[in-house]
Amino acid sequence: MCGRYTLAADRNTLLQTFPDFVFPTNLPIRYNIAPTQPVAVAANNNGGEVEAFHWGLIPFWAKDAAIGNKLINARSESLHEKPSFKHAFRRRRCLIFADSFYEWYRVPDSKAKIPIRVHMADGRPFAFGGLWESWKQPSGDALQSCVIITTEPNELMARIHHRMPAIVGPESYDDWLDPAARSPETLQPLLRPFEAELMAMHPVSSLVNSPASDDPSCITPVESSDFIDAV
């Protein structure tokens, strides 16, 4: 799954990496993004404009926004059949921008978990595949929300976890965001595990365990003999 991630790249880097998207001038630097917080999203109905969406999908038919607290990830294999996701999968897809994500490695024969930061080996930002919804709040205002799609792990991620976020490659952005693309046969191949050889990972401080921690110390590498021995 993906329960925390980062978007610490500055706006110039984002504009250079994603030239077809328009990022807001006030986009904050984030080192520890958690569910229910606003995240940077490009939806397939806004012409490349990046907006802030609530992380935790609230389906249009939901009676209570609290359902979004449980819908932070969606398995790619079942998007076309799950009631919470099948409508959005056909019509409301998005890219969710990041430059790393966290996963917790469970030390064998122990209750200890080590937070691991996973990122591109060259440090460049990337985009998760996501779904979005617009939900009418009791006030009458619309709340836009999203969910991060997960897939099978690549060889790197398989060392620490049985799932990973579905990272959409730049060559597939247009296909993923194409409003006319609606069949699982066309869309699901875009959610394959990302190339392991292009990625890297390292242990970080347990400070990242708390959503209140959001500074460069969250991404600073730390030494961990348990993790080194495992991988």
Question: Of the listed 103, 133, 146, 218, which one is catalytic?
Answer: 103
Helix/strand/coil percentages in the chain, nearest 5: 25, 35, 40
Calculate the dihedral angle through the C-alpha atoms of 106, 110, 111, 117, rounding to the nearest 10 degrees.
Answer: -30
**Residue 20 neighbours by CB distance under 10 Å:** 11
2 is catalytic: yes
Its domain, for residue 190, covers: 4-230
155 is catalytic: no
Q: Tokens standing for 173?
A: 């952005």
Q: Tokens standing for 76?
A: 């790619």
Whole-number pLDDT of residue 224: 80
Mean pLDDT taken over the chain: 94
How would you write the pLDDT of the chain (231 residues) with one tens digit per residue?
799 999 999 999 999 999 999 999 999 999 999 999 999 999 998 889 999 999 999 999 999 999 999 999 999 999 999 999 999 999 999 999 999 999 999 988 888 899 999 999 999 999 999 999 999 999 999 999 999 999 999 999 999 999 999 999 999 999 999 989 889 999 999 999 999 999 999 999 999 999 999 999 999 999 887 775 555
Question: According to DSSP H, which parts of the chain are helical?
Answer: 11-17, 86-91, 173-177, 184-187, 225-230
Task: State how many domains the chain has.
Answer: 1
Whole-number pLDDT of residue 228: 56
The rounded distance, in Å, linking the Cα atoms of 153 and 195 is 10
Whole-number pLDDT of residue 111: 87
Question: Of the listed 2, 94, 146, 218, which one is catalytic?
Answer: 2
Q: What CATH number is associated with residue 221?
A: 3.90.1680.10
Whole-number pLDDT of residue 181: 87
Whole-number pLDDT of residue 50: 98
The rounded distance, in Å, linking the Cα atoms of 50 and 135 is 19
